[in-house]
Structure 1
Amino acid sequence: MDLDVLKFLIDNEEQIKETAEKNNLEPEVSLVIARILYDNKGDLSSLKGKQNYHYQKVIEPLFFRECEGPVGLMPDDEGNFVSSCVHTKYIDEESLLLSYEEEDFKCQNCRYDTQKW
């Protein structure tokens, strides 16, 4: 777990709060759990009982963000929006913090492709 990403998510609470609400969980509890993880340097063994559930449903998915691709999300034949990324499904760890900071969710390869255009 990248502690810089976790710190960014804690300081900019919206991602955690929105994900908690989507999962019908209490946003403030999820924030407290994120702080516990940060204070314990990302050690998952510091979580107990239902805290693990909050982690699995709210915090963990924020570390596995799907790459939107060099041109962003595009509609498929059924009208669902899918990634235009042809490299990977998820944003690599090295690009995740930058993706959150810039609100531009791309893997390294798609960032490179975008810059070349």
Structure 2
Amino acid sequence: MAEPRSGGLPAATFRFSLVNDSDRRFAYNPYDWGLWKRVDGSWFYVAPRIVPQPLSFLPPGGTETWTLVVGGDDESAAGEGAGDAITTDRLGGGTYAFETDGSFEGQRYTESTRLAVRFVLSGDP
């Protein structure tokens, strides 16, 4: 879930929430999110550059929320998340996707579940 689904430059804030509406724990890495940009019909990876490897579990009814702050003072969004704001001043206008993945209890990790949501940033590309 994304709130809001659109924003504009020079500054915008987006919140992405992973909600476990199932009756099983969801295993995931809160730092292993991805930010992608759609350009000329193709998706291009933007961030992060480095991903720490802790495993976390989202219980049934639990929520994990990431906050993306565009127009922040950091040089990139690499390596942030898990309760911290992901800040960047390196995004232009366009269509983006925020994604993460994991697996439900009893599901093989090789059959993980990938979740993504699109959002739009208005401004110069």
Higher relative contact order (CA 8 A, sep 6+): 2
| TM-score band, normalised by shorter chain | under 0.3
TM value normalised by structure 1? 0.26
Q: Which is greater in Rg?
A: 1
TM-score w.r.t. length of structure 2:
0.25
- Please identify which structure carries the higher helix content: 1
